[in-house]
Chains A and B, each alone.
Chain A
Amino acid sequence: MTFVVKPRVRHPLLPVNELGLTRRDYEGSVSTLCAGCGHDSVSAAIVQACAELSLPPHKFAKVSGIGCSSKTPSYFLSHSHGFNSVHGRMPSVATGANLANRELYCIGVSGDGDSASIGIGQFAHIVRRRINMLYVVDNNGTYGLTKGQFSATNDKGSTSKKGVPNLYEPIDLVSMALQIGASFVARSFSGDKRQLVPLIQAGLMHKGFAFIDVISPCVAFNNHNGSTKSYDYVRDHSERLVSADFIAPGAEITVDYDSGALEDVAMPDGSTLRLRKLDEDYDPRDRIQALTQVQRSAEAGEVVTGLLYMDADAADCHDVLGTPSAPLNALDESVLCPGTEALEGVNAQLR
Chain B
Amino acid sequence: MRKLLVLMVILLTVLTFAKITVIVPWSGAELDKFLPVISAFQEKTGIEVEYKTYRAEDLANILPAQFAAKKAPGDVIFMWTSFLAKNTANAVELSDVVLPSNYLSGALDNVTFNGKIYGFAYTAKVKPGFWYRKSFFEKYGLTPPKTWDEFVLLLKYLKQIPGLKAPIASGDGVGWPLSDITEHFLITFGGPELQKDLIEGNISWKSYTVRKAMDKLTFLLKQGFFSEPIEWTTVLKQWWNGEYGLYFMGSWITGMVDDPDDLGVFSLPGNQGMVFGIDYAFVPKFSKNIDEAKKFVAFLASAEGQTVQVAQGGHIATVLGVPEMAYPTVDREVAKLLIGVQSLNDLDDSIGGLWQPAFWDQLKLLWVRPERLDDVLETLEEKMPK
Indicate whether A and B interact: no
Binding site for B on A (CB under 8 A): none
Binding site for A on B (CB under 8 A): none
